[in-house]
Structure formats: structure tokens, C-alpha cells
Structure 1
């Protein structure tokens, strides 16, 4: 039987590419996004690629109750085999800027951290009950070692990295697998907004192939490109002042997210 996937942030970028990669295998897909037009386009592309069936829902991952209902609804149709918590936004600092806008920071944290919790938590009980299921959480190289031009984004990704590691150890005894996905630079609309040197940049289709292969091989960490991942881990072993000084030499502009904390 082909896999049943639940994917957030499926209207563009990595989420859409992963959906298309599994669609080619005839997978059953439940796709979430916030833009109806782009989400419909993703769904149509997945149907054309060979998906067995495609359901969609416009949803905001910050809405805990709505996410719980959607996960429950998806499971009622057919148990979720692979849940991909992918939705996220980036924010950061431009040269000369010292402090990130507090409202933007809190909105980003609500999406990138609470949104992951809201997506994954409702699936855990059902997966544990049947002793099967795979949870994939999308992190970032920014969660491996701090970057001075994107402090809040690094904090958000470090948080979900740690949470994924904890879940993996806890849920293994219940037959539920957890994979942490750690992408480097992927050519997505979000990455296109960042002005910087982007070593190892790859297309979202290439990233999706790596993710799919890693999930099929049940890898606990799916990091790419691997040389960047190991370099970032090595940087954590070096004196902080040395690495910070090198990082400051790079010209990087990370646009501030348009999201704002709800009043």
C-alpha cells in the first residue's frame, strides 16, 4: 500500500517538492497551506504527477485547535504514515540593524515553534496507539550553530531540533520514528529573499529527493549538504569569539518577515 502523508507548508518550496516526489509514487496526500490559490496549484500538480488522492485544507499552524481537528480528520480517512512539519517563515537583520522587531520575532516563533508543536502533537497518540508512523520535522542549518544576522530564527530552529531529538528517543519504544530534516540553502521563495553567499544551494526538487530517500532509509537526521552540516557542528567546538568574528565579515541581508504578533 502506498504511503499516506500529511504535509504543512505544502503550497511552495520544500513542502510542495516533497509532496510531488511522493505523488510520483502514487501516495495519498493531505496538504496544508495558507494561500488557497497556491495550495490548489500544488494539489493539481500532485494529481498530475500520479498521487492516489489529494486532500487540501487552508490552515494556520498557529491555531492549535484547528490543527488538532485537521490531523484527526486526516487520520479518519486513512492513518497518517508520514507527517511532515514543514511550515515556517524566516526573519533576520540587515546590515546596520541591531534589534529585530519584537512583533515580527514573536510571530515567527509562533509559526516556527508553536506551529511545529501544533502539527506534531495531535498525531503522536494515534501513531503510538497503532505502533507505527513517521514524524519528520524540518529544521535548518541555522539551528546547528548561531548566526549573528538571524538570532530569532536560529533560536526557533534550535528549539525544534532539540524537541525532535527528544521525541525520537521517547517515541522509538512505541514504534514511531522521528526524523529531523536539516536543510542548507534550498532555492525556494523564502531563500530568494536572503541576500548572501549561499554555498551548496540546490533546487527544491533535489532537496525533496534527499528527504524522501532519507525517510525511506529511516535516518534520524537528514542533513544536506552534509559537508555544511559537519562544518556547522565543527564550528560549535571552536572558540565562540573566533567564529562570531568570521561570521560578521560576511555581507548578509535577511529581510524581516511580514508576519506580526497577533494583538
Structure 2
């Protein structure tokens, strides 16, 4: 790490659309970036871009769902450069192959491991060191799908609801230790994963716009950063309305795996 760096930011899923945009948003002189990603060529190119912008950068591509590898990596990171901000952004999705068909179990297991279990394991590894230092911020990526489960992505919805609840719980638990926790709930952000999702994609945002809003929320230690407003407002209502009403609305809006709004 450069001795001139004043802030250390760790981002997993840096080779994805939001992760890459966040890396570029944080890449300034005085910032040391620790970028994790599965696509090595994309990761290398991103690291070079961030260096050109003035940041110092290190990269990693260890399997995040391997407990031993994750613990070894984060232990080394904490010893050399304990991050000030940890953005657990890595994630994946899967979909039911058709109406009435469950998602393949192997895919569902992998999704739960990466979207929910890995961020929890990262907190387990890094919170003790942050607590000893008296500062730090954990950032968990949920989704507006965390407000109410969608038939087009039931397992994804479950993991995003789970990480939302976990982050909200940790925020109150860790606040006395000087550790902030923010839960990010994006709507549709342009990316290959978004394009692969069935169903309509209203109010889709470019990743750069999403990263700007996320970064601003992190800087303010916001408990929740959810966007865009119209979609957030609508999906929030799905969480508070009676279940039959919410499920009728979900179907009528085209999220029942048909991909088309119902007349």
C-alpha cells in the first residue's frame, strides 16, 4: 500500500457493472483500492484505469464461497491495510426455467452462498479488526426485490431480503463500536445480469448513475440507499400491503414469469 493513501476501500464483484462503476468512482489520489473479481482480464483493465485516475490498486480473484480461502485473504488484507469501507457487491442470479418449475438446486445453492453467506462471512472476518480500530463501514448490496419476493427470481429475492435484514440488524449492533452499516437497494441497473432477468425493467439506470448515488449514501452513512424513487416507492408498498393484494399486483405488472403486463 502507498504511504500516501488516506483511505482504503475494498470492493467485491468489481468486474460487474455496479462494482466497476464504484471502483472508478472511488479511484482518486489518496485512495487504495482492493478489487475482487472473477473475470481476470476485466479486473486487470479496471485496475489500470483506476491507477491512471490516481489510486493505488491491488486485485484478488479468490473463490469467495471458499471459507478457508476467504478467511486467509481477508486476514492478510486486515493485517496490511484494514479497509475503511467494505462493499460486499459480488452477486449472481438464477431464474425458474418456466412457469411452475423451481430453479435448479445447484444454481440456487450457489446463489445463496455468494449473495448472502459470503457477505456475512466477510463481516465475521473484518468486524473484530474494525472494532479494535474503532471505525469502519460495511456496505451490503440488497435489491428492491428484497421488499417482496418475485416469481421470476424467488431465490434471488430471498437472498436480497436476507442481506437487507442482516445489514439492518448489524447497523444497530455495531454503531456503538464506531462501525457504520449501509444497505443498498438498487432497482434495475444496466448490466448483463439485468438483461438476463425475465420480466419488465422499468426505470433502468446506467451503472455510473447508480454508483454516484451509492457513493453519496455511503459517505453519509445512510442506513438504506434505495433507488430509483418511483420503483422503490412501488416495491415498498408490496411489502406493506396485504399479501393477496401484493401478489395480484405482481402478476398484473408482469412479474409472474410471463414477462408481460396483464391487461
Which of residues 54, 59, 62 is equivalent to 1:56? Answer: 59
Which of residues 1, 8, 11 is equivalent to 2:12? Answer: 8
Aligned to 1:188: 191
- 5+ residue gaps, structure 2, are 259-263
Q: CA deviation at 1:25?
A: 5.3
State the Cα deviation string for residues 180-220 of structure 1 (Å, max 9, x = none): 01111101121121243211211111111001111111111
Aligned to 2:51: 47
Aligned to 1:257: none
Which of residues 38, 42, 49 is equivalent to 2:42? Answer: 38
Q: Helix, strand or coil: the match of 2:96?
A: coil
Cα RMSD between the aligned structures? 1.7
Corresponding pairs, count: 253
Q: CA deviation at 1:98?
A: 2.5
State the Cα deviation string for residues 225-255 of structure 1 (Å, max 9, x = none): 133223222222222112212212344569x
State the Cα deviation string for residues 158-196 of structure 1 (Å, max 9, x = none): 111111011101000100000001111101121121243
2:252 and 2:244 map into 1 onto residues whose CA distance is: 13
Q: Helix, strand or coil: the match of 2:59?
A: strand
Alignment of 1:60-139 (within 5 A): 60-139=63-142
Query: Does structure 1 residue 212 correspond to structure 2 residue 203?
Result: no
1:160 and 1:187 map into 2 onto residues whose CA distance is: 22
Q: Is the 8 A contact 1:10 1:33 kept in 2?
A: yes
Query: Does structure 1 residue 153 correspond to structure 2 residue 156?
Result: yes
1:25 and 1:188 map into 2 onto residues whose CA distance is: 28
Q: Is the 8 A contact 1:137 1:164 kept in 2?
A: yes
Query: Does structure 1 residue 21 correspond to structure 2 residue 25?
Result: yes
2:240 and 2:35 map into 1 onto residues whose CA distance is: 39
| Structure showing greater relative contact order (alpha-carbon pairs closer than 8 Å, 6 or more residues apart) | 1
Q: Name the TM-score, length of structure 2 as normaliser.
A: 0.90
Q: Name the TM-score, length of structure 1 as normaliser.
A: 0.90
Q: Helix, strand or coil: the match of 1:124?
A: helix
Q: Mean Cα displacement is larger for which, 217-226 or 174-183? A: 217-226
Q: Is the 8 A contact 1:62 1:118 kept in 2?
A: no
Q: Is the 8 A contact 2:190 2:206 kept in 1?
A: yes
Q: CA deviation at 1:27?
A: 1.6
Q: Mean Cα displacement is larger for which, 94-103 or 219-228? A: 94-103
- 5+ residue gaps, structure 1, are 255-263
Q: Is the 8 A contact 1:89 1:190 kept in 2?
A: yes
